[in-house]
Structure 1
Amino acid sequence: MTPEEILKEPARVLSQAQREFYFEQGYLCVDSLVPKETVAEMVAITDEFVGASRKETKSGKVFDVAPQHTAEHPVVRRIKRPDDQHEGYWGFATGLIADVAADLLGPDVLFHHSKLNFKWPDATSEVKWHQDIQFYPHTNYNVLAIGCYLADTDMSNGAVGVLPGSHNGPLYDQYDASGNWTGMLSDTDNAAIDMSRAAYMTGPAGSITIHNCRTVHYSVASTSPNPRPLLLNSYSSADARAYTPHPDPSSHAYEVVRGHPAKWAVHDPRPCQIPPDWSGGYTSIFAAQAGEDEKAA
C-alpha cells in the first residue's frame, strides 16, 4: 500500500498528524504511550533475564553479552528473540504496538522480529549510523521498527537519533572495503552526515520510537550508571515479502498479527543491498560494528 492508501485507513492509536509526520520524516516518537503497568511488567520480566544471564560466559541463543560480562557485573547487550523467551514479551508485541504498526503499514501486518537492546555506562555502547533494511531485504519498504523505552531516556543514557527524511534518500553500502559485513555506514559516508540535522527521540519510560527500515539512525553512548533497556519489535506490511534468509527467526517470524495474509507481493523498484547469508548463524549488530564476528548482524 502507498502512504496515501494507508492514511485513508482509520487510525487505531496514532493521530492523523502523527501518521503524516512518519511518512514525511521517516520516524516518529510518542511520549508515554505504553501504560505504566505494562512497562512495569516488561521491566520485571527483563530484570529476571538479566539475573539469569549471570550464568553465561559468552553470547548464545538467548543473550548477546559484552566481552566484559561477568556473573558479578552482567553486561547484556541484547536479549535475543524475546517473543520466544517469555509470553509477556509476545503479548506486548501483539497488543497495542501491533495496532501502532497497522496505523503506519496498513491493516495487514506481519511480525518480523523482536529484540531487547541495552545501553550500559560504557563509551563503547554507541550504535553507529546504519539502516535496517540491508539486514533483511523485502520486496518493498513498508517495514519498520517500534521501540519502547523501559526507562526514562535522554541524551545521557542512549537516546536513538535519526536523520529526518533519510528514508527517501539512498541506501548505503554496509560492507567495508575488504568485503566484510559491518552493519554500518563507512567512515566516508559517516563524515558526510550533517549532525546538525539529527533528531533525537527522548522520553519517559513507556515512550515509543518508530523508524522506517530505510531511515538512517544510531544511538549515542551512555554515560548513565543505570542500564537503559529498549524493547524493539519489527513489522512489515503483509505485501512486503522477505527474499533473503531471516537473520534470527523466532517461532513467530512472518506471523500475521493484524488483518490477513497478502495474495500479492508489492515490488518497490528501488534496489536493496544483499546481506551475508544469515542461514549459517547470527549474533548482533554490536558484534558486527565492533568487528568481533564478521558474520554478525
Structure 2
Amino acid sequence: MLTPAQIEQYRTDGLLVVPGLLDVFTLQRMKEALAQWLEQSRAVDAHTQVFDLENGHSAEEPRLRRIKQPHKHHPVFEEFIRSQPMVAVLRDLLGQGLRLQSSKLNLKSPRFGSPVEWHQDWAFYPHTNDDILAVGVMLDDTSLENGAMLVVPGSHTGPTYDHHADGRFCGAIDPATPGLNLDRAVPVTGKAGAVSFHHVRAVHGSAQNRSTMSRNFLLYEVCAADAFPLLGVADFDEFNSRLLSGEPTVVPRFRDVPVRMPLPPALNQGSIYENQASSGKRFFDIADDAALQAAST
C-alpha cells in the first residue's frame, strides 16, 4: 500500500499522512455511530466507561471530548482497523505481526474542544521495543484552526522526556524542557478520510478548537506482535485476541530504547485529560493565536 518514499518519510519524521484511506461509506457509518453516542450522552452527568465529558456537558447541550475504546462498542471501528488496506499499511511500517493496543475517539466540538498538552505516547505504555504507532483517522476536514494535532518531526529518535509533576506521572511534558524544538512542530491536516501514522515516541499535542467546525479524530494504537508491555500482561488470552495479523508469541523482542515508567500513577486517573490536569505547566491554555501559528511552522 505504501511507496518506498512514504515509508522513508515515516522512518525520518516519525509521521505520515495517507489521504483517502478511509472510504466514504465507512466514514458515514462512523459518523452515524458518533451521532448515536452523542445522543446517549444526554443521559449522563459524569464520566463513564464509554463517555469522557467536557466541562459544561448537559442534557440540553451535550459535550463529549472522548469515546473510550470505540472498537469495543460499535463494529465499524473494529472492522476498519482489521480491514485489508489498513493491515497492509501497518505491515509496511511495523512488520507482519500486529496487535491492537487500544482505541479512542477524541472530539473537538466548535469553540470548546479541549487541548492536549505535549506528550509522547511511549510515556504511557512503554514496551520491550518501540515498533508501535498511533493511527489517526480524520472524520472531519482537519486544519490548524479546528485543533489539528501537532507533531515535532524527528522527535521519535530523541529522548523519552519526563512526564512527571511533583514526583508523579502526569502525562505531559513541561513545555520549557530544553531540546523539545516545539517551534518545528507541524500540523497533521487533511480532508475527512485521511489517515495519519505517528511513531509512539513522537512528541505531539493539540490546541483548543477555535473554529466553528468540529474536529473529530479517531485514534488506534497498534504494536508489533512481539512488543510486550513493561507493566505486564494481565490476561494473555485477551492480549492475543487483539492480534490483527501474525501468530501469538511468548518471545518478546527487546530493543535498547530510552524508557521512563509511568509511575507512581497520576493523581488524576482516567483519560489523558484527567492525567494532565495535575501537570501544572501548560502550553496550549496560555498560548495566543500568534504562538500557535509559530508552533506550526
TM-score in terms of structure 2 length: 0.86
2:207 corresponds in structure 1 to: 220
Relative distance call for 1:239 and 1:209 in structure 2 (3 A) is same
User: 2-side partners of 1:246 and 1:128: how far apart?
Assistant: 28
Q: Structure 1, residues 196-251: CA drift from partner, whole Å, max 9, x if none?
A: 3111110100011111000001112211233211111111101111121579xxx6
User: 2-side partners of 1:264 and 1:51: how far apart?
Assistant: 45
Q: Any residues of structure 2 matched to 1:146-295 within 5 Å, and which?
A: 146-176=135-165, 178-189=166-177, 192-244=179-231, 255-276=242-263, 282-291=269-278
Residue 187 of structure 1 deviates from its aligned partner by 3.7
Contact 1:108 1:262 in 2 (8 A): no
1:64 aligns with 2:52: yes
1:34 corresponds in structure 2 to: 22
Contact 2:118 2:175 in 1 (8 A): no
User: 2-side partners of 1:196 and 1:271: how far apart?
Assistant: 23
Contact 1:113 1:253 in 2 (8 A): no
Q: Report SS of the residue matched to 1:136.
A: coil
Question: AA paired with 1:267?
Answer: F
Question: AA paired with 1:127?
Answer: V
1:118 corresponds in structure 2 to: 107
Q: Report SS of the residue matched to 2:169.
A: coil
2:41 corresponds in structure 1 to: 53
User: 2-side partners of 1:54 and 1:271: how far apart?
Assistant: 43
Where does the alignment leave 5 or more consecutive residues of structure 2 unmatched? Answer: 280-297
Identity level (%)? 35
User: 1-side partners of 2:259 and 2:181: how far apart?
Assistant: 24
Residue 277 of structure 1 deviates from its aligned partner by 6.8
Contact 2:240 2:248 in 1 (8 A): no
Contact 2:107 2:113 in 1 (8 A): no
Q: Report SS of the residue matched to 2:66.
A: strand
Give the aligned CA root-mean-square deviation in angstroms: 2.4
1:128 aligns with 2:117: yes
Contact 1:164 1:197 in 2 (8 A): yes
Relative distance call for 1:103 and 1:60 in structure 2 (3 A) is same
2:294 corresponds in structure 1 to: none
Question: AA paired with 1:266?
Answer: R
| 1:105 aligned to which of 94, 111, 126 | 94
